[in-house]
A and B are shown apart, each in its own frame.
Chain A
Amino acid sequence: MFPTQQTYETNIRLPFSFILFGTMAFFTSQAILLYSGSSIVHGAFRIPSVWAAVHLAVLGWGLMVAMGAMYQLVPVAFLTPIWSETLGFVQFFVTALGVLALSTSFAWKMDFVFFAGLFLTLGFVLFFLQMAMTLKKQPTKNILTLFVSTALICLFLTIALGVTLAFHFFSNVKVADHLLTLKTHLLFGLAGWFTLLIIGFSYKMVPMFSLAHGFSMTLARYVYIFYVGGLAVTFGSFLTNSSALFVSGMGLLLLGFALFSYHIVTILRKRVKKKLDRPFLFALLAIAIALCLHGTAFLFAIIGNTDSFGVIIYSYLFGWIILSIVGYLYKIVPFLWWTHRYSQKIGKENVPTLKQMMNEKWTVFSCVLFFTSFVGVITALAISSLPLFYFSQSGIVLFSLLFTGSIISVLLK
């Protein structure tokens, strides 16, 4: 047997720890939202149970899964191994405990949110250290590095603002305007961190999953300039309370995202793989949804309808961020397990393809269930229908169970 090269593979336990924790957090968050149905339908979003559910969904699911995916994607996308796997496991335990402490504090002990937030911050600091040291080792920087680095800066700002908000609750002393801090926390967390990260990795994953070649990456620079410009101008509008600046910010974000969507279309036109895998189509559907939401936000900003932004933010979280993560995870999880289980057998015996690692019919069924339930929840919120909310939210809870089942089924292959 000749020696084999093992350069960029991460210990599978690391990304899977994050992903499995994420699936459990997602189920719990959706069950809490179902329980809180009557308050949500009547527009009461800022209540303890919803705060707990939202932070479980955003941090426990979205952020933990994004972190786990980064532990797997960064080494392969940036051709540099993870700086320290041991630190990765320490970071996992600290962050997971922090998320649980924060979410339970939101539900039962508001005074403790600040301390839980501080503990969680330690997890983030360890993650920043890991990523900074890993990205520093990257031999050649590229536009992906810029997207991912900026996303990490936005995450850092989101955390700082989150801790500030928690301090307000803890001490009753306001170190900054509460509403300004909350709006910026949401802007940098959702549009800054998640969107820039998904855009950055989409530039790697879309050509890879469609086998696209010979496309130009020039547009990515303009996507970056307009989107980050949009974040800055929107933040400026929060600072100055200027509706004209807010419209400009939303316009720039729309322009940046529209360019990104167009760029993805041009990349897909250059694809060799004509029939795309279905889970990947759901990640592409998420891009279309986000484009519509950016357009809607821009229109609402023009007409001055800021009351509907709660529903837009909810739709953005579920229709763009969560659906993207789900779509990509259906590709990433089989790859991770395949690498662990079959990487050393390729060339020696017959091994399954990645597509054979997961039942595609089930993934389609669960993604359709998620999408229709998501549309149902949005409709229920728009028309304040409690029965429709319960019915649709139950669909999302069922989806979270099916999704966990799909992940476990891969681990049995």
Chain B
Amino acid sequence: MELKDMVLEQLRTVYDPELGINVVDLGLIYDLRIDDGLVSIVMTLTTPGCPLHDSIVGGVKRALANVEGVQDVDVQITWNPPWTPERMSEAALRQLGHI
């Protein structure tokens, strides 16, 4: 398995505890780059001022801490473009009863 796939798989263990859906299926991960073991993630949250801001950002870093080949993790939070429900996977939308 490639390192990027392993990182994505690990990110699926980070759940939004309010919704019970992981950050990948929620569509919170905007960009993921790996350069010499440095994982750079650009992500968002479902709303600015989300009370779970620190927990989720910290969770992303912790989830990748023990992935072989990952030396460091940089997480940038962006509000542009803002998150929309269209970014969610079909499974996530179904879990929320939207489809």
- Chain A positions within 8 Å of B, measured between CB atoms, are 1-9, 72-73, 76-79, 204, 207-209, 211, 213-214, 272-275, 335, 338-339, 342-344, 346-348, 351-355
Cβ-based interface call for B48 (8 A): yes
User: Are A211 and B96 CB-contacts (below 8 A) given A346-B14, A348-B63, A354-B18?
Assistant: yes
A7 & B54 in contact (Cβ 8 Å cutoff):
yes
Residue in A72, A214, A338, A344 whose beta carbon sits within 8 Å of that of B58 in the complex:
A344
A138 to chain B, nearest CB (A): 10
B85 & A272 in contact (Cβ 8 Å cutoff):
yes
* Complex interface: chain B residues within 8 A of A207 (CB): 47
A1 & B65 in contact (Cβ 8 Å cutoff):
yes
Cβ-based interface call for B30 (8 A): no
Q: A interface, by DSSP: helix, strand, loop or mixed?
A: loop
B17 & A346 in contact (Cβ 8 Å cutoff):
yes
User: Are A4 and B85 CB-contacts (below 8 A) given A347-B14, A352-B17?
Assistant: no
B17 & A353 in contact (Cβ 8 Å cutoff):
yes
B47 & A346 in contact (Cβ 8 Å cutoff):
no
**B51, B53, B83, most chain A CB atoms within 10 A:** B51
* Complex interface: chain A residues within 8 A of B29 (CB): none
A347 & B49 in contact (Cβ 8 Å cutoff):
no
B20 & A347 in contact (Cβ 8 Å cutoff):
no
Query: Measured between alpha carbons, how far is A208 from B16 in the docked complex, in Å?
Result: 12
* Complex interface: chain B residues within 8 A of A5 (CB): 54, 57-58, 75
Interchain residue pairs with CB less than 8 A apart (27): A1-B65, A2-B73, A4-B54, A4-B62, A6-B54, A8-B51, A8-B53, A8-B54, A72-B51, A76-B53, A79-B48, A208-B18, A209-B18, A211-B85, A273-B96, A273-B97, A343-B54, A346-B55, A346-B56, A346-B58, A346-B62, A347-B14, A347-B58, A347-B59, A347-B64, A347-B65, A348-B62
A79 & B60 in contact (Cβ 8 Å cutoff):
no
Query: Measured between alpha carbons, how far is A2 from B65 in the docked complex, in Å?
Result: 7
A214 & B51 in contact (Cβ 8 Å cutoff):
no
Cβ-based interface call for B84 (8 A): yes
B49 & A272 in contact (Cβ 8 Å cutoff):
no
B48 & A4 in contact (Cβ 8 Å cutoff):
no
User: Which 3 pairs across A and B sit closest by C-beta, in order of nearness?
Assistant: A274-B97, A4-B58, A347-B63
B97 to chain A, nearest CB (A): 3
A353 & B49 in contact (Cβ 8 Å cutoff):
no
B49 & A76 in contact (Cβ 8 Å cutoff):
yes
* Complex interface: chain B residues within 8 A of A3 (CB): 61
A272 & B88 in contact (Cβ 8 Å cutoff):
yes
A208 & B54 in contact (Cβ 8 Å cutoff):
no
Query: Measured between alpha carbons, how far is A190 from B93 in the docked complex, in Å?
Result: 40
List residues 64-99 of chain B with CB under 8 A from any CB of chain A. Answer: 64-65, 72-73, 75, 83-85, 88, 93, 96-98
B20 & A353 in contact (Cβ 8 Å cutoff):
yes
* Complex interface: chain B residues within 8 A of A73 (CB): 51
User: Are A1 and B62 CB-contacts (below 8 A) given A8-B53, A78-B49, A208-B47?
Assistant: yes
Smallest Cβ-Cβ distance to B84: which chain A residue: A213
B60 to chain A, nearest CB (A): 6
Cβ-based interface call for B19 (8 A): yes
* Complex interface: chain A residues within 8 A of B56 (CB): 346
Cβ-based interface call for B40 (8 A): no
Extra A-B contacts (20), CB below 8 Å, given A8-B53, A343-B54: A2-B72, A5-B58, A8-B54, A76-B51, A208-B18, A208-B47, A208-B51, A209-B18, A213-B84, A273-B19, A274-B97, A335-B51, A342-B17, A344-B58, A346-B14, A347-B59, A347-B65, A348-B59, A354-B17, A354-B18
Smallest Cβ-Cβ distance to A343: which chain B residue: B55
B59 & A208 in contact (Cβ 8 Å cutoff):
no
B18 & A353 in contact (Cβ 8 Å cutoff):
yes
B98 & A351 in contact (Cβ 8 Å cutoff):
no
Query: Measured between alpha carbons, how far is A272 from B46 in the docked complex, in Å?
Result: 11
A345 to chain B, nearest CB (A): 8
Smallest Cβ-Cβ distance to A355: which chain B residue: B20
Query: Measured between alpha carbons, how far is A3 from B85 in the docked complex, in Å?
Result: 30
